[in-house]
Amino acid sequence: MSLDFSIVGAISVTGLNLMVPIALTAIGEVFGEKAGVVNIGLEGTILTGAWSAVYFSWLAQNPWVGLLGGALTGALFGALHGYVAIWLKGDQIISGVGINIFALGFVPFAIQAVWGVQGTFSKCSVCGVPEISTPWSPLSYFVPLTVIVAVGFWYLLNRTRYGSITKATGENPEAADAVGINVEKVRFLAVTIGATLAGLSGAFLSIDYTGGITKDISAGRGFIALATVVFAGWKPLLALGGGILFGFAQEASSFATTLPAIGHTLPSVDYIFSTLPYIITLVVVATAIGRSRFPKALGTPYRRE
């Protein structure tokens, strides 16, 4: 019985840690989409945020500088996306895809250029921050931080004037403009804040969770976060719940590959179970999208007449 309890405890702690990048990114995207801007570039933002965090940690010999660098990198890409999509009235999908393509090329190149290795840099001696000790495995301080962020954004969107203004620009930007709200500025700030959380998620992955950087460290988490936004119905607290769901699905699939009975029965079990989080994502989105209510002006550039 004690062994079973220890296994459940270990899976729970790791699942909560894996929840962090998905939930943080999804909460930030909820905020941006509530203002009417969709950011497909979350995957690339997580990836570049992860690389920047390791680079600045290595440069400054301080992991906290790295975490800040990852968050600021996310803000930079959010501002770039906002400038193209909001001020230049560009296509939001194309802009986000461009960020993803850039990241896929930049990160492997930067790993090679800075550290002289291909694809993976794992010798970051300063990468690592304090963690919460548990009887099973360390729990990241990012876990309670993510819960606080979810509650904070729920309060911001539902209990403050600024939250009402943000939602107005995503629902009816013409009416918001008519009462004196600067739609472009509100949207720009929202998408930048959202991308900052995506960059911080990448920093968590490289500095806190793995202690290094790989060219594919994001592993589709940006796209899972986008699915989580739909699943959550654009609600920060439900986005937190969605992150927990996908985090536990990822850990459960990893744990299943270690079971001898499954391993002997299915020789390719690693590949089969590694797809489970993504299959769950597709099922959840297919189930939720029909009953989800999108912000009415989501994805539509505002042009003042």
Residue 79 in this model has a pLDDT that exceeds 50: yes
Average pLDDT of 282-303?
A: 81
Confidence of residue 2 (pLDDT cuts 50, 70, 90): very low
Q: Are strands 213-214 and 131-132 parallel, antiparallel or unpaired?
A: unpaired
Beta-carbon contacts of 128 under 8 Å, excluding residues fewer than 6 positions away, are 63, 207, 208, 211
Find, among 235, 190, 214, the residue nearest to 85 by Cα: 190
Domain map of the chain by residue range? 12-122+134-288
For 55-110, the three-class secondary structure string (H helix, E strand, C coil) is HHHHHHCCHHHHHHHHHHHHHHHHHHHHHHHHHCCCCHHHHHHHHHHHHHHHHHHH
Instruction: Name the amino acid, one letter, at 183.
Output: V
Residue 302 in this model has a pLDDT that exceeds 50: yes
Instruction: Name the amino acid, one letter, at 209.
Output: Y
Render pLDDT for 35-56 as a digit per residue (tens, 0 to 9).
999 999 999 999 999 999 999 9
Residue 70 in this model has a pLDDT that exceeds 50: yes
Fold adopted by 12-122+134-288: ABC transporter involved in vitamin B12 uptake, BtuC (1.10.3470)
Long-range CB pairs of 130-134, under 8 A, 24+ apart, other chains included = 131/208, 134/9, 134/13
Render pLDDT for 196-208 as a digit per residue (tens, 0 to 9).
999 999 999 999 9
Render pLDDT for 136-194 as a digit per residue (tens, 0 to 9).
889 999 999 999 999 999 999 999 999 999 999 999 999 999 999 999 999 999 999 99
The predicted model scores a pTM of 0.92
Beta-carbon contacts of 28 under 8 Å, excluding residues fewer than 6 positions away, are 193, 194, 195, 196, 197, 198
Confidence of residue 1 (pLDDT cuts 50, 70, 90): very low
Which run of H or E residues covers position 131? strand 131-132
- Distance (Å, whole) CA 257 – CA 277: 14
pLDDT at 156: 98
Three-state DSSP class for residue 142: helix
